[in-house]
Amino acid sequence: MEKIKITEIIPNSNNPRIIKEGKFKKLVKSIKEFPEMLKIRPIVVNNDLVVLGGNMRLKACIEAGIKEVYITKVDLSDKKQKEFIIKDNNSFGEWDWDILANEWENEELNEWGIDVWQPEKDVDYSVLDDIDLDQEIESMYQQTKKAIVLEFPVEGFEPVKEIYEKLKSQDIDMPNLFYNAMKNYEL
């Protein structure tokens, strides 16, 4: 590992990773607040000083005004360089959200670039005061289609299905037909 001028490092134009503006700003802030991490996790470059691992950190360091960074130079074949770029950026693990929730503060995790749930602070629920939720639910229920399921014995299903398909193909209003037929049997 060595420390060199940031201007000597060449960003990888074939870097397959991107960073969105919000996360980039968090990365810049993180580097400014914890620059020691750059030594712990140096930028990985090839013999030509092209970045293989750490393109986003390099970009954030430039934005943060860092003049020198730590690098680790590796001598890999072109094939191994391509493999390294993908594997270095591939996140195999997943967060254990229970441990995160119990051991860290949401605000800190969010500042450090982990997307966590944040309570809505500016939500005004008073607009719900004038709404009769029971009435709204009843209205939605009334507007919802309903179904009746008829069960047929196996041997009787196919003939009924054929009649149903013929009537349906003639644009017969099946619910109305069924209703009228049932009215003949009212108790």
Q: Name residue, tokens 């500016």.
A: 122
Whether residue 7 has pLDDT greater than 90:
yes
Burial of 122 (0-12, 13-18, 19+ CB in 10 A): exposed
- pLDDT tens by residue, 101-113: 888 888 878 777 7
Coil vs helix vs strand at 89: helix
Q: What pLDDT is stored for residue 187 in this prediction?
A: 64
Quick one: tokens of 74?
Answer: 């590796």
- In the chain, what are the domain boundaries? 2-111, 129-183
In the chain, the percentage of residues whose pLDDT exceeds 90 is 37
Contact predicate 56/24, CB 8 Å? yes
- Model confidence at 183: pLDDT above 90: no
Q: 25-81: per-residue pLDDT in tens?
A: 989 999 999 999 999 999 999 999 999 999 999 999 999 999 999 999 999 999 998
User: To the nearest whole number, what is the mean pLDDT of the chain?
Assistant: 87
CATH number listed for the domain at residues 2-111 = 3.90.1530.10
Rounded to an integer, what distance in angstroms lies between the CA atom of residue 104 and that of residue 127? 34
